[in-house]
Each structure stands twice: as structure tokens, then as C-alpha cells.
Amino acid sequence: MRDDKQPICTYGGYTCAESYQSSYGFCTLQHMPLDPGGMCRFCIEVKDGSSLNFMNQGMPALVPDSDHLDLTGAFTIFAFVKKTAEQGNSGASREYIVTKQSDYSGKGYWIALIPTGAIGEYDMEFGVYVGSEKFRTARQTVNVPVDEWLHIGVTYSGTALTMYADQVMVSTLMFDDEPPMYNRRNSQPLLVGKDFAGLIDNLLMFDSVRVSDDFVSDSMCPHNLPANNDGGLIAYFRFNEAEGFMTRDASPHGAGGTFGYLGLVCANAPEGNMAMLQCAPGHTISEVLYANFGENDGTCGAYEAGPCALDRQLVEEFVGAACLNHNNCSIPATVSTFNTTLACRATTRTLAINAICKPALSAWSMHTAPTLVGETHLFTDDLFCPFELMDQKIGFEGDDNALPDWLDQTLEDLMMNDAQCGGADTLDSAQTGRPVVFGLRAKDGCGYRSLTSTADDFDATVTYPMIFNVSAMEELETCPDFPQTRFPNISIAVHNGNLEGEEPAYCSSWSDVFVFSYTPTFFGEPLMSISYESGSSDAEKTLIDNVRVAVDTAPISSATTKVIGSVVDADDVHVVCEAGVESRFQVVAYDESGNRIMKHGDADKLAVNVMETPSAGYHIENATEPGVYDVFIIFATSGTFTLQVTLLNSTIYEGTVTCSGSMIRMMDQLNIDFPEARFEHTVVSYNDDLYVFGGAKSDKTYLDATLKFDLDIEESSMYYSFKRMVMVDSMPEEVFNVELHLDTEMLISSGKLKEDCSDLRFFTWEGDSTLPMWVEPSQAPAGCGSSSTSVWIRVPGGMERFWMYYGNKQATSMSDAVSVFGDMFEDFEYSESPLDNGWTLENATSDSCTPDAGYNPGEAASFYTSDLVSMTGTRSLRANIADFLGGSLEKAVPMMKRFTMKVFMYDLKCEGAHFVSPDFKVCQPLDLIESSAQHKSLLPNLDNGVGVYTSSDNETYCVMYPWHSSTAKREHGWHSFTLQDDDERLTITYDDVMVLPLRADDVTTDVSKIFLRAARLPEQEHSSVFWDSILVTEYIPGLAASYMEEQHVVFSREAKWETVGIQDPPPARQAHTAVVYGDSMYIFGGEQSTYEYSDVWRYDFGDDLWEFQPAINGFDTLGRHDHSAVVYNNTMYVYGGRSPAALGDFWAYDFDRSSWRPMPVSEGMMGRYGHSAAVTGGKMYVYGGYVSKEQSREGELTDEIWAFDFAHMEWLKVGPRYDNFAQDWIEDPTDAILFPQAIPLPRFAMTAVITGMEPALYAVGGAGGGSMMEEQPDIWKFDIQAKEWKWMGSSSLLARYDSAGALVANGTLLVMYGGHAQGRFMGDVIVIYVGESGLGSGDMLRAGLVAP
């Protein structure tokens, strides 16, 4: 016991005397302590102590009459009763639980149990007097278990009278056809337990109809309602006093001191009569509560003396002397009885007495009615984020009580680990690797603090669901049911101040606070469950019942994220890429716990770095599969490089990559209508489209057409880098499914084909359409990634040649078996029964021709589609012989004498008969033949099949008939069986490589159906098998497909030529120049039939219109052709050309003013034509060309490079030089080409451009050599900074002159069109990679763009 006069807390709603601390084990309801602030820290253990025990003595508890007890409106009455075996029945016809009736008329209300004579059976009766001599009464037989508490409830609304037993309605009586009627007032006391044998506890009365949801809380939780009595409680007798003869009304109506009395007897005898008190047998009068002679008002138990009365003390002493310790007594109601006189006169004088009859045994029982007080009842509404407690202080004034150490440390640790904190609304989500924390304020069933529970009372787990794991079968030696795997369960830690192994900290302010925490480490949707022991009850209760938690992955982690693909899987010397050709690898995102992240959003956290090369261009895109990122990369040069992939600046991969040099590619002309060949035309690029103007045809016709070539740069997924011709031998005239065996393993490992073969395409020879095709999936024995991948192509009749394309890293798969085989392909991609999708259940026995096996027609439920494993799509056919009988499925196909049937089976290495057949026929049992040999002799020879038949051999795959083993060992996983017949011989091939032996070499058959058998064999274990991707197609002996040499191409079906600028074009011409300024193309000069043009025309790309640009000034010497033109700032600079002699002048054309002005020239720079010019770094570079003989010292062609500095307005000869400092244009040796080094042969009519992060001039083709007209088949690069030439390679495609080209794809590709070579006029487009000097990280050619 603590210091006196310290306020106490209530535990479980029980209240204690005087509002002070007490050492009693329990307290009576003398006072309710106030704690409006909820800050009380001290507690004592109190409990409901008793109930009323009516011991067959017929002495009820009496509550004096009061207006509120008359129940003159709607009302509800609850009570607990307990009939005991010891007491049995009282013997009365009615045992009243409660009654307020007249002893004479019976008017009032009552609830009674009427014995039926059967043990534990009573009629429950509820009656109300509603006036006019009318009673409304309900009666229903109920079961009243012996020695168990029964909750009795009644409600009356005025029109409905209803009875309940243990909260279950047992009877209702409706009076809807009558107006509402209510109980009438009377002056009778309320009697509890009249003639009742047993225990009664917790009597509640309401002046309203309570709903069933309130029954438990009303009856099993102590009421401490506010003064306004919102609940309508008008009487509440808890019977917890355990001693004495008074019981208090705990309702608001009883706050003024309303009591009930146990064993109360009364007398109110008129003067001159006899006042008699009579106790029940075994009772004696123990106390006189009231005795008065004279004026008396009130009723039994509530008498009050009027002004005319004898001395009360005198009368009470006399009555006590006469009656105490007697069972009964009689006292004359006269003045003389008391030896005194009464001077006053009254209308009526009576002798009124209230006395208590005490039983021989106590009227109190320590067996109390069920209560939720003290019994822990937890609700998710009481969950909260415990971080809210971190700043909370609890205590009385001056008591600064912070969190206890255990709670403070627990919460500190969780906060430091960024725990997810919340209440019930956050339980359904979590993140791997991140702690989850939630708090609980424990309460009992009545909502009061529960201070007795400990962490040991809880069982809290997060359980991941079981998952069928077919692949786990590979680790098993036997064949049980499918192994079920799941992530380990997570135990939820429960923290509480009542520590394990210690006495409960009962009076701790924090004993009712629990902190739950766990850290999920696996992605998925586990179930959270929390149960607890409730205290007084042995039954385990549930707080959280299988709440599904959506556990999301944590942020991407550099420690677990993986980089995959042929580029990163290769060794140091294996070539996996080509310079300038896009390669791809993938990043698969994982979180720190090793969970696959199944969503996108991390691409911006990835970066790629390539060392030992000027640079590499890359970009990252979301792959189709969530959480996977495609990294498309172009290596700038050939060589072996270090590739580094970082995630949030942490390296997740570093390895070497070897790339070959870039190849010159031709724009593939399949399905593209190219214009006729031309030369001496111009080409510019705008938005990566080529614009061609003028030129001359092979017949010397001058052209004025403007052409646009849409390279479809933005639609990068349409570009392919490689093609091969496919040849078909013995191709029939009808459409046919051709099987091509392709070494995709090599193509993938060399970086030319995507790892899933999704960029494989086939086109008709004319290119007018794609061919339907199906690539067998990677898990197939001859699937994608194998050295002999089966690719099925549906080829039009008579087409002996068609095209195969690949090398597009952004292509999506067009592999579709149904488009090839139609109805002759079955992939089971449906959830319905196969019997609803063309299959029938065949009447076949387990062993087709073994009579003693018995007839087994099969069971349809054995066959259904499943998503456990699949070859194609997401489903396969499962034959479940573990749970069902098994049987045979059959699907009809058109009969073929020459056919190929291919079936994929997932072998679990189980016992049974699991086979496929094209011709299976049922053998009838030959019961009359006893000899097994005779059986065999009568077997048909038309049954052919392959699969598992463990009665013959459990270790190998077997063929029939008769069944015999093969050399093909059984292995877990997917396997293929191919049955092929050319009408002369049937062959059965296992996994596309092993031919299985048949019973004879001349076995042949026809196909008319797909027959699948899955059955359990006698005395063998149950089993399962999966089938998928079944195809049937015609077969032609000798038909074979092969592919030719690989060609390097740029192919897009979307690329196209079109004529533009049709309205009012410039006059036809050749050898002019074209430049781009703003959104327009400008052409200048050119020649037609020896006429030299000096005009300027403008073509608006957006408006598709030509417009002549008249100059505000003019010069007679402007006319020319074979000159050069470049743009710098807002000016076009024109140098040289011929008219017809070589020119050495230099002009500037102002686009904005349409004006010409002459520019300075160099004395040492000879006039020239057929040269090239380009601009970079504020300088114009002029290379090569033909120079006049009069000025040339070394011939007609030159290999010189000159530079004009726009800032200083002067020329500089870069080289080759023969001396230095001789003239102004050959001063500083550092500005010149240094020797020794190789330089290209002098040439003219070539194509030259400047591009790159480190600018370089690329010179392609042209004419030169001894005759000056020899086509040059090479490409050279001049490093402007280093002043060095580098030979980049040669190709017959480059051997041309008078061609034209332009840069696209951010300057990484030079696209050239037309020209002249060896007397031929060219109409093709070639693509040259010129990105060796570096690819900007933000200026990368889009993946798959041209695959140059």
C-alpha cells in the first residue's frame, strides 16, 4: 500500500473506496475515483467480488419503488443467471429473475423461468401489463445449462416483445396491428430472485431498446456512464458487495444513494391491528432498519415518518427487542404497546417496520458472472505508431517520468534504421530490408488498460505462401508431390516492459504498451498473423488474422544488381561487337536483400564508362520485363576495352570487351523503290532525312528533281544490320512450313543476335511481306541459343529463296507458332479444360494390350492447364496422376502419310506410362488366351509412340510397340520427341539429336491424331507429367533449308524515297553545291550544257517550296560548277570550281541580305575544282581537287589541305609542305602535317566531311591514280588537332566519284548516294561509320539506328 491520500488508478474499471489507495484485494462501489487527465500512475488489483445466491429460501433482493423503475416506455433488461446442480429448482411454479408486480393482481412486468420438468430446460417468460386488464406475454422453452452462466435479455418497444438467451433471440412477439402500449405505473418494489434457486449477477435496466451489438458490452463491462446518461441506463446492480444486506445501484440514478436490500421484510399495520414480520425458513431477523408508529408514507423499504409520530428510537428499540434473532414476530399497532402517549392527531396512524432477515448461510456467492474486465481483448483500432511516444512524458505534477529504458532504446534503434511506423492502416504494406514497427495499447474487453499481458503472451509471425517448385524436383531422387517452397517465416519481435522471466511490472505506466517490429527480407505477399493469450481465458485470441502484406522491394542495390548479356559474358579475346554497330546488354535490378525489383524507375541511376577509347555512346531504356534495363552501346573504335557499369556511382560490373572494326554497309533495297542512278548531284541532311537535288542520269540528261530519302532514324527498332539469303531445296508449289537449323549460339555470342532471338526476321524474296515464323524457345533442346536452333518459317509455294535479317537490338519478337502451324499447333494457353478446346478423353487402358491391367477409361479431372511450367506462353498441359486416375487425351488432325509431329514433354522422372503417339489404337483384352506369348503374337503392329514407360525401363525413354528401352537417358526438364514419317520409314528423334531405335527398320505409319497418354502403372508410384507446344505439319523428303554468307546491311522496312519540291523547281543542273541554313536548303551554281549558273535558290523544308533568291548585287565571275560551299554563321562561303577553267576565287554570300562579297585568297593556293570543303573550329578546310597545269608543280591532282581562319581572315597551308617560313601561308611547322606518315593519294570528286568530338576530316572515294580517273576504294581520316592522316579501310562499295553524301545520326554516320564507277552510274546508298573520333554521351546514335 502506498502513502495515504494518494490518488489511485482504476484497473479494469473497478473502483475503490474513498478514491484512495487500498490494500484490499477488491473494493466495493462506494466511490468512483476521478481521473479526467488520464495521468494516473498508481494501480491496485481489484475485481468483481460476488453475485447473489438465492438458496431456495425464497427471500428476494428488494429495491424500493421508484418512478424510473416503472418502465413506462421502451426498455431493456439484462441479467446473468446460473442454475446450480446443488440447488436445483426452488419448487415454485415460477422462479422470478426480476419482477415488479402486484401480489394481488399481478399487474406490472416480470421475467421468470418456469421449470418444464426436464433437467436444464425451462420456459422463459417475459410479461408486461399494458393497461385495460391486458397483458403482453412471451414464453419460449430455453436450455439453461447447469452450473454455467446464462445471459438473459428482454426488450420491449411498445409493439414488439423480444427475449434473448446468451445474446441469441429465442422469441419475439409482434403487435404491429396495435398502437404502442407500455407498462403502467405501480407502487410495488422491484424484486430480484423471488422464488429463484441459483445465482443472479449484473442486473441492468435501460429505458430504451438496446441493439444486439450492445449486449456483450452492456452486460460484461462495468458501466461508468456520464451524468447525462447517454446510454439510457436507469438501474445497474452489480452485486459486488460480497457481504452485508445492501447492494448499490451503480447507475446514474443510484448516485444519490439508491440501494437494494437482501432479506427485507416489511409491515405497515393500521392502528389497532397486529404488525407481523415473517422470515423465510432458516432466516432470522438480524436488523431493524425502520420502525415508526404514527404517520408513515412510502412503501416497503422506503418508508418515511410523518410529523405525527412517536419517538423513532423508542419504537425501533421496542421492535428490536421483540423481533431480533427470531424467525418471526408480532407487535400490536397501538400507542399503549410502547407505554407512551401520542398527543397529535393524524388521519391514519400505522406501525411501519423495515427489517432484515439474515439467512443461516451467506446470501453472497464468490462465483461471478462472466466479464471482459481483466481479460485482454485487443483490437487493430488500438494500433499506433510508437514513435509518437518519443517526446511523451507521463506522471503527476512534478513527476517527469520519461520513457522506460527498454522502450526508449527499442524506438531509438528503429528510428535510426528508418523503420516504417504506423497503425492498422499501414499493416498491409512493407518494404524489403526496412524495419516495420507498430505499437499497441493493450486493453481488456471493456476498453480499460490491460496491464497484465506480457510479450510472452503473443504469437506474431509473417508467413510467406507456399509455391509449387517444379525445378526443385531436379534435386530429388524420388518422385513425391511437387515440392512446395517459400521464403522463411518471419517472427515479429514483441517488446514490452513486462520482461520475460521477471515478475510483471504490474503498476508500470507502460505495461500496457507493446511494440511490434519485423524486417521483411523477401518480396511477395505474405500473411501477417498475431494471436495472444487473453489472461483469464485459456482460449487464444486473434489480433491480426492473415492480413496480406504487400512487401515491395527496397531501392535498387549496387551489391546485388546484375549485368547480363553476350557483351559482358564474353572472354577477353572473343569479338562481341563491331565498332559503330549497336550492342546491347541488360541490367537486372535487385534490392539489398537479393529480391528482383519488378518495376522500372532506376534507369537514371545507371551509367556506363568505356576506357581505352575516345568514347562510347550509350543510352538506357526500360526493357519489356519490369525491373530490367536495356543498355544500348556503340563502341567508337575497334579494340579491346574496359567496360564499367555503375549504379549510383558504385561499380556493379567491370570487364573487357573486344570489338572488330566497322564495316561499310549498303542501305538494303528490299521493298524500297530507289530512284534511277545519277551523279554530280548534291545531298544534304535535315532532321536525319536526306535531300537530293539535280545531277545527271547515265544518258547525260540533266535533272531538276528534288528527292527526299526518309531514313526513319527515329524508328530505330526497324533497322537490321545483317542479312543472309536462305535457299530451300525441293520446295513444293504449295505453301509449306520449312524448318531451318540456325546457329544462334554463335550469332548471340558474337553480339549480332539478341539473346532471345527476338530480332530474327524473314522476308519474301521480293520483300513485299514478312514470313510467319516460330523460333523454338530457349528451354527447348533446339531452342534459341543453341548451335542448331529450329526455326520454322511458313514459306509461299514455289519460293526457293527468301531473306533472313537480324542485328536489331531493339526489335521485339515476332515468333508465333500459331501463325506458322495454325490449328496444328497446341500450346494450351487457356484456363478451361482441354476437353473444351478440341481434345477428347479416349477410352484406352493403361497398357494398351495387357489384359490383366483391367479396363481404365480415364478421368477427365486428370488433365488441366497449369502455369507451373511452360515451353511457350505461360501455361502447359498437366497430367496429374498423383491426385487423379489419369487417362488418354486425343485430338484429331488431318490424316497425313508424310508428316512431322513434334511434342515437348517436361519429365519429372516419375514412374508411369506417359507417351505420345500419332496412331495409337486400343487393344481389347484377350481374356481367353492364357499365354503371354500368345498375347504378344496377336498384338497389332500399328501402335507407335515414344515417352516414359517405366514398366519397361525407368532409366531411359522407351518406344513402342512392343515397349522397349533406348539409349536416351531420362533427365529432368523439357525434352522433345519428333516423329517423322516419309511414307516409307518412321523415325523418332529425341531432343533433335538422337534417333531412337524402332522394332524394325521398315516401320511406317500415318498420323490422324495427337494421342497423349498419362497413367499410373500397376504397383507403381503416382506421378505427373507436362506437355506443351505440340505441332503437326507435312513433311517432304529432301526438303532442306540452308543459309548463305552474311551480308552487312542497313535495313528498315519503313525507309522510303519520295519526290518533293515539285512546284517551280530550279532549272536542271549538275555539279552545283547545296548547303543547309536554318530550315532551308540553298543551292548555288552548277552547269547545264556548258552554261554556268550563278543563281541561288532556296528550298523550305517545312513548306516544301522552292524560291529563287535574287541577289542585291552581282558579279560576272560568279558562274561556276564543281566548286565547294560551306556555311559559317549566317554566310555561305564558296571557293574555287571551274567555268570552265579552274577558279581560285573565294566568295561570301550573306543569307540575310542576299548579297555577295569577295573574300581574300592566298597566292600559294592554286585554283581548283572537284575539291571538298568543310568547317570546324572557326576554320574552313579545303582538301584535294584538280588544280590547273599552269599552277601545278606536281601534277593535275592535289593532296593539299588548306585552312581559312574566319577570325583572322587569312589562309594557311596545312600541308603537305615542302618548306616552312617561305611564305605567310606556310609559317609555323606546328600548323603543318608532320612526316613521316602515310597520306592518301591525290584525288578529286570525292566526298569529305568533318565530324566528331575531336574533329576529323573524313575523305571517301573519289578519282585519282595515274590516269586521274581511277576510282579510289578507300576512306581516310585526318585528325585536325594532331595533323595526322589515318587509313580507315577500303571496300569496293567506296570505289566511286561524283557521289554525294551527308552526315546523319549526330554526325556519326556518313550516308552517300549515287556516283560513278568503272563506267557505271550508281543508284545505291552506302552507310559509313565516322564516329571513331568519339561519341558524345548525350549525342549517341539511337540504338539499332543503322547498325553501320
Q: Is the pLDDT of residue 846 over 70?
A: no
Percent of the chain's residues with pLDDT above 70: 85
Q: pLDDT band at 58, cuts 50/70/90?
A: low
pLDDT digit string, tens, across residues 1136-1189: 999 999 999 999 999 999 999 999 999 888 899 999 999 999 999 999 999 986
Nearest to 466 by CA among 421, 412, 507, 525: 525
Q: pLDDT band at 848, cuts 50/70/90?
A: very low
Mean pLDDT of 68-84: 94
Instruction: Please state which of the ranges 35-49, 506-520, 761-775, 1106-1120 shows the lowest mean pLDDT.
Output: 35-49
User: 1310 has which bridge partners?
Assistant: 1303, 1328
Q: pLDDT band at 252, cuts 50/70/90?
A: confident
What pLDDT, on the 0 to 100 scale, is given for residue 737? Answer: 97
What pLDDT, on the 0 to 100 scale, is given for residue 21? Answer: 35
Percent of the chain's residues with pLDDT above 90: 60
What pLDDT, on the 0 to 100 scale, is given for residue 872? Answer: 93
pLDDT digit string, tens, across residues 863-896: 999 998 999 999 999 998 888 888 899 999 999 9
CA–CA distance, 90 with 1088 (Å, rounded to integer): 136
**482 grid coordinates:** 511437387
Q: Is the pLDDT of residue 714 over 60?
A: no
The DSSP output letter for 612 is S
pLDDT digit string, tens, across residues 200-216: 999 999 999 998 888 88
Instruction: Please state which of the ranges 505-519, 678-692, 897-911, 994-1008 shows the lowest mean pLDDT.
Output: 505-519
Cβ burial 817-856 (10 Å sphere, 16+ → b, else e): bebbbeebbbbbeeeeebeeeebebbebbbbbbbbebeeb
What pLDDT, on the 0 to 100 scale, is given for residue 911? Answer: 86
What pLDDT, on the 0 to 100 scale, is given for residue 681? Answer: 97
Q: Do 966 and 958 form a contact (C-beta atoms < 8 A)?
A: yes
What pLDDT, on the 0 to 100 scale, is given for residue 975? Answer: 96
Nearest to 813 by CA among 753, 733, 877: 753
Sort strands 134-143 and 149-156 into parallel, antiparallel or unpaired. unpaired
Q: Is the pLDDT of residue 3 over 50?
A: no
pLDDT digit string, tens, across residues 522-547: 989 999 999 998 765 567 889 999 99
Q: Who wins on pLDDT, 547 or 455?
A: 547
- Based on its alpha-carbon atoms, the radius of gyration of the chain, rounded to whole angstroms, reads 52
Q: Do 152 and 80 form a contact (C-beta atoms < 8 A)?
A: yes
Mean pLDDT of 514-518: 95
Cα 652 to Cα 177, 209, 428, 588, distances in angstroms: 84, 71, 33, 11
DSSP three-state, residue 573? coil
Instruction: Count Cβ atoms below 10 Å from residue 639 Cβ, excluding itself.
Output: 14
Cα 30 to Cα 255, 384, 1071, 1158, distances in angstroms: 10, 36, 118, 119
What pLDDT, on the 0 to 100 scale, is given for residue 717? Answer: 42
**832 grid coordinates:** 478451361
What pLDDT, on the 0 to 100 scale, is given for residue 159? Answer: 95
Q: Who wins on pLDDT, 90 or 823?
A: 823
What pLDDT, on the 0 to 100 scale, is given for residue 1221? Answer: 59
What pLDDT, on the 0 to 100 scale, is given for residue 715? Answer: 42
For residue 151, give the amino acid letter.
Answer: H
What pLDDT, on the 0 to 100 scale, is given for residue 622? Answer: 93
Q: Who wins on pLDDT, 1347 or 1002?
A: 1002
Q: Ranked by mean pLDDT, which of 17-26, 920-929, 1316-1325 comes out on top? A: 1316-1325
Mean pLDDT of 694-716: 86
Instruction: Please state which of the ranges 972-976, 1058-1062, 1218-1222 shows the lowest mean pLDDT.
Output: 1218-1222
Residue-wise DSSP of 277-309 = EEPPTTEEEEEEEEEEEEEEES-TT--EEEEEE
Q: Who wins on pLDDT, 1340 or 246?
A: 246
pLDDT digit string, tens, across residues 22-45: 332 333 333 334 444 444 444 444
Q: pLDDT band at 476, cuts 50/70/90?
A: low
What pLDDT, on the 0 to 100 scale, is given for residue 1124? Answer: 98
pLDDT digit string, tens, across residues 1015-1057: 887 776 767 899 999 999 999 999 999 999 999 999 988 889 9
CA–CA distance, 1 with 708 (Å, rounded to integer): 102
Q: Do 627 and 620 form a contact (C-beta atoms < 8 A)?
A: no
How big is the CA angle at 679 (ends 678 and 683), to the nearest 5 degrees? 95
Mean pLDDT of 367-380: 84
Q: Do 623 and 630 form a contact (C-beta atoms < 8 A)?
A: yes
Q: Who wins on pLDDT, 9 or 487?
A: 487
What pLDDT, on the 0 to 100 scale, is given for residue 17? Answer: 33
Q: What is the mean pLDDT of the chain?
A: 85
pTM equals: 0.75
Q: Who wins on pLDDT, 50 or 469?
A: 50
What pLDDT, on the 0 to 100 scale, is given for residue 1193? Answer: 54
**207 grid coordinates:** 429505458
What pLDDT, on the 0 to 100 scale, is given for residue 545? Answer: 94
Q: Is the pLDDT of residue 937 over 80?
A: no
> Which residues, 6+ apart, have CB-to-CB distance to 1175 below 8 Å?
1126, 1127, 1128, 1181, 1250
Mean pLDDT of 610-619: 77
Residue-wise DSSP of 1008-1036 = EEEEEEEEPPTT----EEEEEEEEEEE--
pLDDT digit string, tens, across residues 637-664: 888 889 999 999 999 999 999 988 889 9
Q: Is the pLDDT of residue 1259 over 70?
A: yes
CA–CA distance, 57 with 266 (Å, rounded to integer): 17
Q: Is the pLDDT of residue 1311 over 90?
A: yes
pLDDT digit string, tens, across residues 1080-1097: 999 999 999 999 999 999
Q: How many CA atoms lie within 13 A of 1009 on its CB side?
A: 21
Q: Do 461 and 518 form a contact (C-beta atoms < 8 A)?
A: no
